[in-house]
Each structure stands twice: as C-alpha cells, then as structure tokens.
Chain A
Amino acid sequence: MNLFKDSDRSFDSCLKCTACSSRCPVASVRPDFPGPKQCGPDGERLRLKSPDFLDEALKYCTGCKRCEVACPSDVHISDIIADAKARYGKGNKFKIREFLLSHTDLMGTMTRGTAPIVNAVTKTKTAKVVMHKALGIDQRRQFPPYAHKSFRSWYKAELEDKQVFARNVSYFHGCFVNYNLPELGIDTIKVLNAMNIGVQLLKKEKCCGVPLVANGFHKKAKANARFNTDSIEQAIDSGSECVISTSSSCAFMLREDYPRMLGETEGNPHQQVNYITRFLTQEFKNGNKPELKPVNLRVGYHSPCHLIRSGGVLHTLSLLREIPGLQLHQLESNCCGIAGTYGFKKENYNTSQDIGEPLFHQIEEGEFDYIVTDCETCKMQIEMSTSAEVIHPVSLLARALDV
C-alpha cells in the first residue's frame, strides 16, 4: 500500500548531482548499499518498468533523511525508498519482530503493571538469546526500561485538575514518554506551567506511526494518522493554541507527513503541531520567559537527524543558550545509527554501531556531564554505546527552574 496519497513524482526533479549520496551515513559504512541516489530517484525510474528492479539493499536505508537535507531539488528520497520497500517488497522472515518493534503503543500497554518483570526479563541472557535467534532482535541491544506507571495515568491522577490557565496547549506525548520516560512529560508540564500555559492531553492518541512506516505497516500508519488528526482537530476546536510534541520524530511525522499521507495538503490542522523547542523559543522571544537559575554543567548537544530535516536544530540551540551557566558544546553532526527500530534488528546491529562510531568517539573524548538531545532513540543508542547520560533539552530547562 502506498504511504502517500498522491504517488511521489519528486524524483523527476533529481539533478543527478550525488550530493545525497555523499551525505548518507549508511553508504559510508556499507559498500553494498548503493546510496540514496541509486536507491531513490534512479531506482524509482527502473521500478516503474517492473518491480523486478527492486534492490534488496534498500532495506539498509535507515530513513534518517540526511539525504533529503542535502538535496537541492527537494526530492523526497527517503520517502521514495520507504514506499518502494513497502510497495514492491516481498515480505521477510522476521514478521513477528517487525510487528513487535513497530507497535510501540501496543507493547507499552501490554507491559502496564508488569514493567518491573519485563525490564528484568529483557535484561537476562536467556531472553536475549531467544530474541536474537527467534525474533532477529540483536542480543547486544539494550531495551529501554518500561515505566512503572504510564504518563497518561499519572497525568489523569495528579496533574489534570491543576491545569487551569488562561492559555492552553495540547501535548502529544507519544509512546516513549508514555511508557518509558514519563519524567520528560512531567518536566514539560513544569516548564509550560511556569510560563503560565496550561497543558492538556489529546482526548486519545495512538502511536504517531514512525515505526510502523519504517517496518512497512502503512495501512496501520494511515489509520493512526487519521485517528490522531481527528484528536488534534478536536483539541484545537476546544481551545488549545497548538499541539506540542517533545519528540523530534513524532513532530515531523505529525506536521510534515500526515498531510501527504491523508492527501490533505490545504487547511489541515497539522500546521498547528509544533516541536517543543520551536514553541518555547517563540514564547521566549515574545517575552514570556520564566526565571532561570544557572545550571553549571558541561553538556554536548547531539542533533537528531529528523530534527535537522525539519529545520529545528536552531530552535533547540537557541533555547539551550538561554540557560545561564550552561557550557554548551555542539557535537559534530553525525547520525547515531539507531534510526528508531532499525538498530534493534540483528542484521543491522553492526551497521548501526559503525555509523554511530564517530559520534561515540566525540562523546567519550568530550568529558561531558550530560549529552543533550531531542530524540528518544538517539538517547537509547548513546546511553548503550557510551558511558554518557542523555537528557532532553526540556528536562535541562526544568532543572534551571529548580536549582
């Protein structure tokens, strides 16, 4: 099934300049990956002749979209590759794995109440071997721990009735905050409340669809897009100024991909979705800035691929610069390699770690107190592959309120 409503003909504008291929993290570590130009615009012209021309190697693309950032012709290279995999691909032997890894909301729900057990089990050697052999999930991979209580139930119990403010925004928390890192959600509310802005949750939300798309579950992804769009619409109608997200990937999906998936390119509610740092910098600029105390830390900032693609890195950086006392070092831009669910698959583990290597090296050399980044899977990858602890920009900001 096609992911996007209108078939993507952006490949027709490709200049054949190869800028994309020179920026592809996978091509630089895997000689058998022909790179974005050949897999994307070049390959698409062949695949229109016959699906026979689909190259197996397309599966190595992480969907990081660095190629799209480099492209001077606005070719949706990574979308074309993702679509081709789904449209022409002939299934694979790790169906169950793909399902488990991509249905993040379902997995979260299932672990509710059993989180301590699940966390303990996924750490055991036997479980790892079983997952590796039977499911194709690499045994060297660390699973993110599941939270004991989901963010949503926490909010309902503790925070909901405290959100009485003149101004309100709605918060698309996403799966990771809900099931793995409720602290980030709580920090977000803390920061916004300090700026006299109330935080509502969407009536209901489903996984934004990023992992579903990456694993070829396009039908489900579209259904989720429809569902979330309705929730967003409802939230705006009932008085929220906008919808914010603390995940750079969810935000990109909601804002940029939904309109094309649903074929609603005009007058859609998706323009009301903001990544949090964009919203905050705008507020700060308008003079709505909370009192901030010095945070005397030395941190390294890692820019996630999808935030680069959406042009959001500047917002995060200018936000971090507002924190007094912070020693901020911008790490050289380098994909961390995990790319969502990609790095969990055993056939990708080495590629994933090879891609991230230069980044890990920078981090170990830098002697930072923390690494700051906007993306949850970058966080997992860096924490697994280095000795650093990773924190979200908003949580850092929340500390400036406290200290």
Chain B
Amino acid sequence: MRRLEADVVVIGGGATGASVFRDCCLRGMHTILVERGDIASGTTGRNHGLLHSGARYAVTDGHSARECIEENRTLKKIAGHCVEETDGLFISLPEDGLDFQKQFVDGCASAGIETQVLTPEEAIRLEPSVNPDLIGAVRIPDGTIDPFRLTSASILDAREHGGTLLNYTKAVGLIIRLGYVQGVRCCDMRTGEMFEIYSRQVINASGAWCHEVMEYADLSVDMYHSRGALLIMGYRMNSMVINRCRKPGDADILVPGDTVSVIGTTSTHVEKDQLDNLEVTEDEVRVLLAEGSKLAPSMMDTRILRAYCGVRPLVSETNSSGGRSISRGLVAIDHAEKDALNGLITITGGKLMTCRLMAEVATDMAARHLGVTKPCETAKRALPGANLPEAMGRKTREARKTGYSLPGSSIPNSVAGSAVYRHGDRARNFMKEDSNWNNAVVCECEVVTRGEILYAIDKLNARTLSDLRRRTRVGMGPCQGEMCACRVAGLLASSREDGEVVLDSLHDFVDERWKGVRPILWGDALREAEFSYWVQEGLLGLSSLQKDEAKPLLEIQEPESEETQCEQEAKQTAQKDTHHEA
C-alpha cells in the first residue's frame, strides 16, 4: 500500500479546511489536505454568500456579532477579489413596526457595528429594488463573499507554500496506535486505490460530516443538522444586501452575488442519513418567493435560475442547566484534552465568513502540539489575487466598485473585467494581449475565456466540468450550461489523455444543472430547459454518446478486428462493469 507522510493532514476541503490548510502551510508545517469530492463541494458551495456585518446577530447573540464584524473587516482587507463591499439595509415593513429597529441599532452599537438610520426615501434612492412600502431602514456594512473564490484562493496560497491537495480522496479511517492518531487511511475516489498518510496531527474539518470522521475513533458529537434552501434569481436585482429588521426568520435576506441575486433561506432539521439528499421541495420554493418578494417586489416577475440547499453543521451543547442549546459559533475540539486521544482536532460549526478565524483557532492548537512557534499571519497577509495594484482598482471603496479592468489592455472590458473580478491580479496569468485564441469566450453568460479554463485545469486542480464551474462560473448563468458545456468538455478532453472520463463528467454536469432547475420549472426557466434539451439532445445527441461509444468518434479509423460481434459485446459489458466499480 502506498504510504505518504506529513506533519498535518486536514480532512475536508470546504472553506474551513482550506483555511486550515493555508494557515498550517504559512506556519511552515508540511500539510496534506484530503477532500472526498472537489473543493467547496460541501456546505461551502451551497450557502448564501453573505459577508455578515454581524448585524443579524446584534440583538440575539452579541458574541457572534462581534466575531462577524471583526472577520468582515479582515476579509475585506485580505480577500479583495472574493468579497464585495455592497453594504446592506435592514428594512422595516409596516407589519414589522419600528420597535425592533431601536433594539437593533443599540445591539449593533454595543457590538461595534456602524449603523446609519435612513428614511424610506433615502433607502429607495440607495437601493431602488427595495419594497417601496418600507417604513424605515438601517444601513450596515454587510457585504457579499464568493465561497468558491475564497476556498480556491486559500488552497492556492497553501500549495504555493508547500502544501499538497488531494481532491477526490476520501478519509475512510484513522490510523490509531496507543491512544495516538498517527494518520489517515484514504481512498482515491477515481481509481479505488487505498493508501495511508502518516502524520503527527489530523485536523478534522469535514463540516456537517465531522461526526463520521469522529466515529472512526469511536468518538461522538451531538450534531444538529439544519437544512436551508435558497433560490438564485436571473440577474443582480439589488446592489445592496436587503434584510428584514426583525427577529431572524425564513427568506429574509436577499444577497447580490456576482451576476445574480440569491434569496434565502429556510431552516429545517434533517437526519444524519439524509445529509446528501439535497432536493429542494415545492413548499420551500413557495416560502422563499412569498417572503422574498416582500424585500424586493420585482422578484415575482424575475426568472429563477435554480434552487439549491445546504446543511449547516451546527453542534448542540449540553448547557449547565441540563438543557440543550445550539451554538451558532465555531466549535473547536482538541481531542487530546477532551477525550485523551492525541493527534486529532475537530473544527466545525461557525460560518463561511469566520473560516479564517476557525482555522486560526485550530492551527494554534496543532502548532502547540507540534511545537511550532511561528504565529498566525492569515489576518494580515493578502490571499493570492487580492494584491490588486492601485491601477487595477479596489483600493478605495469607490475604486472597488469600478476597478474591474486590466489597465493598458485592448481586450474588451467585459472579458478582461470578468477575469479580474474573479481572479484579481492573478488574471494576468491567463489574460494576455497576444493570445487571441485564449481570449475567446467559452461561456458567454459569465464571460469565461478559453484561457481561464485552461488556467483552472493547469493551476487550480480542476478535473471535471463541475470543478471548472466552481473555479470560473462556467455554466452558472441563465443558460445553465446550454452553450458552454460542450465547449468546455472539448477543452478538458484536449488537455487530458482520457477522453472517456470527460464524457462522464459532461453527463454529470448536465445532470447536476438539471437537478437545480427541476424545482422551479416554469416560465423562462422552463423555456430555457426545453431549449437546452433540444440543443443538447436533439442537435448534439448527448445521451447517445455513451462512454464506450466515444472511442470510434475520437479515432478516425477503427482497426480491423477478427472478433465476433458476440465477443465484442462481452468486452463492452466488461468495460462498463469496471466503470461502475470505480
């Protein structure tokens, strides 16, 4: 069995695991990250993307509120290309009254969150999409955060500091000897190969699945899995985040994220065995639309692109009076102290936007065990891409709004700007003046170029179409991959030897796009789906392109064969079987 060694193994490639990975590498620890799927394919890729100011918790949970505002300011500094400083409004509708607003403003003040109370007219001027019936509004420093970019940039930084990323690798067991976790048993999810990584410290950052990893060591944790559904609207309806100024409830936040707006969320309990069953229900869609259109009435006649849901990894703790309370804060468990099991740390709970802080806490624990004294740098050091030179903008608030360009470039603004928007100064790595073909647009809705796709394959560990989507937004626009899926599959195939795998990944991608559209299949989304089906099936015959039939398409001439048809069929079936096992 293959055997690797490291100082630290991180399990889980969500925002938390990626941040731990980065922190460990920056402190000089030799670190390997294992992720069973792709990076950000868990809860991190299925949330609201709100860069909380903390205002949402100002009245109910002062501690979380303070944590949020601090991280909010940190991320704006270190992750410029992953966040947008949109600011947000907390609006009061006639049915809410203005009583809560007073408490709210006080709560924000004691958490150190700046507020500005606005008249309804001022609020409408700032954010024309807001419900005109509002009776009051408060402006707070909410923002938006792109979870894929944040995760990808953290991983890039870690790898540039010596870290190794193993995606599509599942931790299937812990190597435990004499009360010491000495490493992780892994399975390569593509080949089925089992191997071991020996380490001095394992950090379990597997989010909503962290109980599974703990079970490998016969430990348990009382998780509360809270499921939340969201809808992606066809375009960026609002330019500021819109919240309801009342006690947090369903569908009371509308977040502008990149080219879309996202309304969410709901909150229902799910059982452990349902964690991977993430279909959005009709009821959820209804609640989201009904409540969401109270924030921005135009939502009712805006197209919905897709629906999705995620599971919050909340931990319930037994409090002093014996009752249970569910913590919204981060939970860091040093199992050496808690369970007398050395070499294992679990970090979970928290939020997307507190991932850096969570990593700092967990890495501090690991550093103590490993005798590493180098302090945490992640709060000060910019992520790769976030070092935008003055000319690329986004130094001041104004520039941040209007700085998406490659200075001195003749590439059209929509193309160069989109690359800078997503990759910050790293856009220079693939957006070059002289490479005409590389600047060809592959995904027209989100303006992703051939160069960006190749860069993501080459430098950002993308292996499948869905991986590329997470790193570039390819296929995330209104057509949901109708135009670009096949173009990208072509590029992926040309950069790898195994064309067949690409065909599988194309099917997966199309299926995955479908899954999100199914719950909202009416109006323009239905027309789009019909049209995509017609293009992909009717015109291109996608489903008839089976894996084993792809060969003859790629080869110009089939070699003469003596085999009888019968033998050939048997062979084909055998090939299919191996595929299923893998």
Contact = CB atoms under 8 A, between A and B. Distances in A.
Contacts of A45: 235-236, 259, 445, 477-478
B402 A57 contact: no
A10 to B, nearest CB: 11
Given A11-B235, A55-B414, A50 B401 contact: yes
A117 interface: no
A46 B234 contact: no
A56 interface: yes
Contact of A13 (B258, B447, B524): B524
B522 interface: no
B445 A53 contact: no
Interface in A12-51: 12-18, 34, 37-38, 42-46, 48-51
Interface in A44-81: 44-46, 48-57, 73
B483 interface: yes
Contact of B404 (A12, A43, A52): A52
Contacts of B417: 46, 50, 52-53
B418 interface: yes
Interface string A265-283: 0000000000000000000
Contacts of B527: 15, 73
Nearest to B393: A52
B302 interface: yes
A55 B524 CA distance: 27
B421 interface: yes
A337 to B, nearest CB: 23
A34 B258 CA distance: 22
Contact of B402 (A16, A37, A42, A51): A51
Contacts of A73: 524, 527
Interface string B546-557: 000000000000
Contacts of B235: 9, 11-12, 44-45, 48
Interface string B512-544: 000000000000100110010000000000000
B452 interface: no
B447 to A, nearest CB: 7
Q: Is the interface of B mostly helix, strand, loop or mixed?
A: loop
B445 A55 contact: no
A28 B529 CA distance: 29
Interface residues of B, number: 33
B524 A46 contact: no
A50 B531 contact: no
Contacts of A57: 412
A16 B444 contact: yes
A42 B524 contact: no
Contacts of A55: 412-414
B151 interface: no
A48 B259 contact: yes
A77 to B, nearest CB: 14
Interface string B464-486: 00000000000001110011000
B405 interface: yes
A42 B236 CA distance: 12
Interface residues of A, number: 28
A14 B528 CA distance: 9
Given A11-B235, A45-B235, A48-B236, A53 B413 contact: yes
Contact of A17 (B236, B441, B531): B531
B444 A54 contact: no
B477 to A, nearest CB: 7
Nearest to B239: A48
Contact of A46 (B239, B259, B303, B531): B259
Given A12-B524, A34-B412, A57-B412, A52 B403 contact: yes
B413 A54 contact: yes
Nearest to A54: B413
Contacts of A16: 444-445, 477-479, 482-483, 528, 531
B259 A49 contact: yes
A179 B6 CA distance: 85
Quick one: which of A9, A52, A57 has the most chain B CB within 10 A?
Answer: A52
A14 B444 CA distance: 12
Interface string A305-335: 0000000000000000000000000000000
B444 A38 contact: yes
B302 A56 contact: no
Interface string B192-208: 00000000000000000
Nearest to A17: B531
Contacts of A52: 402-405, 413, 417
Given A12-B303, A15-B531, A52-B404, A38 B414 contact: yes
Contacts of B447: 42, 46
B421 A49 contact: yes
A12 B523 CA distance: 11
Interface in B253-282: 258-259
Contacts of A49: 236, 258-259, 404, 421
Interface string B443-455: 0110100000000
B412 A46 contact: no
A14 B478 CA distance: 8
Nearest to B480: A16
Nearest to B404: A52
A196 B417 CA distance: 62
Given A38-B444, A46-B259, A53 B236 contact: no
Contacts of B483: 16, 18
B85 to A, nearest CB: 12
Nearest to A37: B444
B302 A9 contact: yes
Contacts of B528: 15-16
Contacts of A53: 404, 413-414, 417-418
A67 B413 CA distance: 23
A18 B524 CA distance: 16
A9 B303 CA distance: 10
Contacts of A43: 414
Nearest to A34: B412
A15 to B, nearest CB: 5
Interface in B361-387: none
A49 B420 CA distance: 13
Interface string B481-518: 01100000000000000000000000000000000000
B268 to A, nearest CB: 30
A152 to B, nearest CB: 42
Nearest to B445: A42
Contacts of A44: 235
A59 to B, nearest CB: 12
Nearest to A32: B412
A57 B303 CA distance: 28
Contacts of B444: 16, 37-38, 42
A114 to B, nearest CB: 44
A45 B412 CA distance: 16
A43 B259 CA distance: 10
Contacts of B482: 16
A57 to B, nearest CB: 6
Contacts of B234: 12
Contacts of A18: 483
Nearest to A48: B236
A44 B236 CA distance: 10
Residue of B298, B412, B414 most packed against chain A (CB within 10 A) = B414
A50 B404 contact: yes
Contacts of B421: 49
A120 to B, nearest CB: 43
B414 A46 contact: yes
Given A15-B524, A46-B447, A52-B402, 11 more contacts: A12-B234, A12-B235, A13-B303, A14-B478, A16-B482, A16-B528, A17-B531, A34-B412, A42-B447, A46-B259, A46-B414
Q: Closest 5 CB pairs between A and B?
A: A16-B479, A52-B404, A48-B236, A55-B412, A45-B259
13 contacts: A9-B302, A15-B531, A46-B259, A46-B414, A49-B259, A50-B417, A51-B402, A52-B404, A53-B404, A53-B414, A53-B417, A55-B414, A56-B413
